Amino acid sequence: MTPHEFITSSKKKIGLIAGGQLGKMLGLAASNFGIEVSVMDGSENAPARAIAKNFTLGSYNVFDDVVNFGSRYDCLILELEHVDIDALRVLEEKGVDIIPPSKVLSIIQDKGKQKLFFQKNGFASSQFKLIENKEDLNTKIDVGEISFPFIQKSRTHGYDGKGVVKINAKKDLVKAFDVQSVIEEFVEIKNELSVITYRSREGEVGYFEPVEMIFDANEHLVDMLISPSSISDDLKQKAIHIACSLIETLDFYGLLAVEFFITHDDEILVNEVAPRPHNSGHHTIEAHLCSQFEQLIRIAVGLPLGSSEQIHASVLLNLVGDKHSKGKVFYENIDDCFKIKGAKFHIYGKTTTKPFRKMGHVTILDKDINKAITKAKQIKQTLKICTNETA
């Protein structure tokens, strides 16, 4: 089918699991081409429902829900990693085109397998040990196989810093999880960088300009993303090269976000990868010729790749729920923030807030990156995402 035939016939049906903010932004990119997507999510209030042709209530980790939903589409796009893998395998056998495919997801769903994949394929990453449970952890500490400080990451179901804990000394072991985990040496990080790469069905690989991620030190949660970053060109080129090799080695078409640590000795370590649109690429909607979302839609339906060239410097600020609030959402002082020049708001439309829940983001465009950073800090200090309900 030629691109023109495709958009006029709309023969290819696209399903999306699940319906969070990534799904919403993906659906918006699809609708610009006149392409409709249908969504399955476990919540009636899923953000992507606003753009869905059809909405199905169902859970991404329930085998039957995934098979029943997926069977209705030619192409299934996943906006999160934790989808039931057996269901995806069944769908692939039936001929459903899944992005990312189950072979990639089975590695990435499990942080232990991910680390083993990096090790086996020569991608430098932090030193690690795998443990079965807390008892195993204690034994490995006692025999000197694991030493403090370290980072514990649960092998499955972690996201946005959940399932990640830093253990500095024996007294912190009360915080350790009693689950199969990766224990990583604590890396003294100078910078964190993300590179989003993409690969077409024909094997053409490209990337978006690296982004510097500034983290909330306490919550292991991305606070602000700066693009272009202040990191040296030499390090950026190395990171781009590694990221492109990773998507080639995983051998699939779609998007791959690669997160890196840069140490004080300028060593580049891969932290983790995500085979989907990524929070570190939301600014590509306004700051690049073609966004990560548009690129994924182009790949999914076989349109030519778009240009990922950056056209504006930008700072992205995540808008997260206040740490003391839970309930119906209230955006305190948001009117003042809307007045800020170059601030592009994306409110995801979630009806309830909870501590650190991602409720939206704002991309700030400014020719002067330092001014954009100042504006982002101003919004962070002014806007409070809370609830005005009394407990």
Nearer to ligand ADP, 74 or 223 (CB): 223
Interaction residues for ligand ADP, span 119-138 (CB under 6 A): 126
* Residues sharing a CB contact under 8 Å with residue 318, sequence separation 6 or more, in sequence order: 221, 222, 223, 224, 279, 358, 361
Number of residues that bind ligand ADP (CB under 6 A): 18
Write down the least CB distance from residue 259 to ligand ADP, Å: 6
Is residue 153 close enough to count as binding ligand ADP by CB under 6 A?
yes
Write down the least CB distance from residue 183 to ligand ADP, Å: 9
Write down the least CB distance from residue 269 to ligand ADP, Å: 8
Distance of CA 101 to the CA centre of its chain: 17
Is residue 189 close enough to count as binding ligand ADP by CB under 6 A?
yes
Determine the interface stretch with ligand ADP among 160-168, 223-231, 326-334, 361-369 (rule: CB under 6 A): 160-168
Long-range contacts of 168-173 (CB under 8 A, 24+ apart): 170/141, 173/134, 173/137, 173/138
Task: Please pick, from the candidates 192, 209, 294, 366, the single residue that binds ligand ADP as defined by CB under 6 A.
Answer: 192
Determine the interface stretch with ligand ADP among 157-165, 313-321, 333-341, 368-376 (rule: CB under 6 A): 157-165
Distance of CA 322 to the CA centre of its chain: 21
* Residues sharing a CB contact under 8 Å with residue 291, sequence separation 6 or more, in sequence order: 25, 29, 281, 284, 285
Is residue 80 close enough to count as binding ligand ADP by CB under 6 A?
no
Write down the least CB distance from residue 158 to ligand ADP, Å: 5
Is residue 275 close enough to count as binding ligand ADP by CB under 6 A?
no
Whether the CA torsion 335, 340, 341, 342 is positive or negative: it is negative
Is residue 165 close enough to count as binding ligand ADP by CB under 6 A?
no
DSSP H helices, the chain, are 3-9, 21-32, 63-70, 85-93, 102-108, 111-120, 134-142, 233-250, 284-287, 292-301, 334-338, 369-382
How far is residue 40's CA from residue 135's CA, in Å, rounded to a whole number? 39
Interaction residues for ligand ADP, span 231-270 (CB under 6 A): 259
Judged by the rule CB under 6 A, the positions of this chain that interact with ligand ADP are 126, 151, 153, 158-161, 164, 184, 186-187, 189, 192, 215, 220, 259, 271-272
